[in-house]
Amino acid sequence: NLSAVSGFVFVGLSDAPEIRLLLFVLFLLVYLATMAGNVALLAAISTDSHLHSPMYFFLSNLALLDLLCPTVTVPKMLGALLLENREISFAGCLFQHFSLIAAVGTEIFLLAVMAYDRYVAVCHPLRYPSVVSTKLCARLALGTWAVGLLNSLLHTSLVFTLSFCGPNKIQQYYCDIPPLLALSCSSTRGRELVILLVAGVLGSSACVLTVVSYIYILLEILARNSPGIWHKAFSTCGSHLTVVCLFYGTTICTYVRPSFTYSPHRDRVVSMLYGMLTPLLNPIIYSLRNKEVKCALRRVISRV
């Protein structure tokens, strides 16, 4: 006696009332800080003419993604903690899944584009304005968003065309690929292979582009061996490299692996790292290590 599932229930949060309230306050503060940090970064970049350059154009796209990613998942999680409303409709779960995978996929490719931008800035500084032109920046940004959306469309179609007819309790605080595959009552092996193949190829290509860019940057620094070059290069690339290591590490651990290694408790921790902590840290990392951004933020605050 099987029937189609019309909705899902999140069970990845604590049942103890006192813990729920504590988690609600904690996650609400993190979410508000994330929103404030990224909105401030966007305001500084858009209003300060000194920051109208390719590097900050890509950084503004990153800030937009860091606004989108937690907004897709955190409000529903806060509602579940405060109101105990843990249910989500099938359509709502599909929309949440599509939006999250689109944001994560776009950010992976955007970080690779930002690595290429830093490579040209360090290795070919005289040619930088002509190589990384306004038209190329627009095309690269549009390409990252397009690939992220197409990647999400493929993954969402593979997951939500499965049959869900048994348990509908998701061991997570949002609709993600591994817990949804675990709930399906139809065979998922073929689709898992496609998901792993696509995620592996796209993720590894973005990762290779990033690594190769930084290898060339390192070789260029070693070849010059001029005073202050290490400090200048680290101030230029250190922030981006920190974000890359944090984001790539957590997303690869979540998506590029077989479903039989799925662990609800471990995956909840890892997903919070890239879904909540990374969007919070990105504006802090870039603003604290960048004098131009700090000056622009001071001007924005003084205007307000």
Cα-Cα-Cα-Cα torsion 292, 295, 298, 302, nearest 10 degrees, comes to -120
Identify the bridge partners of residue 89 per DSSP, sorted by sequence position.
7
Q: Would you say residue 233 has pLDDT above 70?
A: no
pLDDT at 196: 83
Measured distance CA(66)–CA(68) in Å, rounded: 6
Query: What CATH number has the domain spanning 7-302?
Result: 1.20.1070.10
With bands split at pLDDT 50, 70 and 90, how would you rate the model's confidence at 142? very high
With beta carbons less than 8 A apart as the criterion, state whether 57 and 141 touch: yes
Domain range list for the chain: 7-302
Percentage of the chain with pLDDT > 70? 82
What does pTM read for this prediction? 0.84
How far CA 134 is from CA of 41, 140, 258, in Å, comes to: 20, 10, 41
Closest CA to 37 of 293, 304, 302, 303: 293
pLDDT at 29 (0 to 100): 94
- Report the range of poorest mean pLDDT among 109-113, 234-238, 245-249, 299-303: 234-238
Radius of gyration over alpha carbons of the chain, in Å?
21
Q: What are phi and psi of 169, to 5 degrees?
A: -95, 115
